[in-house]
Amino acid sequence: MELNDKQKMFAQEYIIDFNATQAAIRAGYSKKTAGPQAGRLLKNVAIQAEIQESVRKRAERTGITADQVLKRWADLAYADPNELTSIIVGSCRFCHGHGHQYQWRDEREFEEQQEEYFSKSDKEREKQHAPVMGGGFGYKWRTQPHPDCPRCDGLGRSRAVIRDTTELSTAGKVLFAGVKETQNGIEVKMHDQMGALLNVAKHLGMFPTKVEMTGKDGGPIETEEKSMTDVARSLAFILASGAQEQGGEE
């Protein structure tokens, strides 16, 4: 079946963003009827063939294959966010000080605090304690919290850490979407991992949008439509179940 100019235009416009309604409008169909018209156009076997051929030719021109796209989605879906930013717990200042007193990094830090304290007026000094070296020196935040620390109850102190993005793995680079400076500091942006995982699942046919069900008492087969919300919930359940099984093995 030979396609007319508007039908060919629709097929070409459709592969730009795969939005059938907008493709119909850009091809010259009425905005009022673009939605229903787009549905009918997509059911046309000749138009589908034209779309597939256009996609094939574009893949040849760009050198991008379906396998490459799937691999990219998979890298994004399974990338470890800890490559970009993470919460790390370390010791507090009282964890490893002598007698669980305040511990300084070194003598220089202690001297700087002394200088600052004695540079204040008498009224200001009355509001705070003078620095003392009872806890000693050698504080390192990355050491493990002391379980008997009376100040932090063995929980230590947590900090948000941003990683060096020039040293990311291939998957980490796919996950990284840039940074944004805010009033509270730097915000690390990431691409949508769950969306990528859903794309992988859909591509592999793990979640068909239609499920055939046998009717009650052997009656006629009914068709149940599944929304993307249902798909997401099913996928989340599978992931959670897998995490529990791994935890049980340990």
**Residues 99, 135 share a domain:** yes
Residue 56 counted as domain residue: yes
pLDDT of residue 246: 46
DSSP 111: H
**Residues 108, 56 share a domain:** no
Rounded Cα distance between 27 and 63, Å, is 27
**In sequence order, what E strands does the chain have?**
85-90, 157-162, 176-182, 185-190, 210-213, 222-225
Instruction: Measure CA 113 to chain center.
Output: 42
pLDDT string in tens for the chain (250-residue length) = 688 889 999 998 888 888 899 999 999 999 999 999 999 999 999 999 999 888 888 878 877 777 888 888 889 999 999 999 999 999 999 999 999 999 999 999 999 999 999 999 988 998 888 999 999 999 999 999 999 999 999 999 999 999 999 999 989 999 999 998 888 888 999 999 998 888 888 777 776 555 444 555 555 444 444 455 555 555 555 555 544 544 444 4
pLDDT of residue 213: 47
How many distinct structural domains can be found in the chain? 3
115: domain range? 89-157
Residue 127 counted as domain residue: yes
Q: Is 90 within 8 Å of 157 (Cβ atoms)?
A: yes
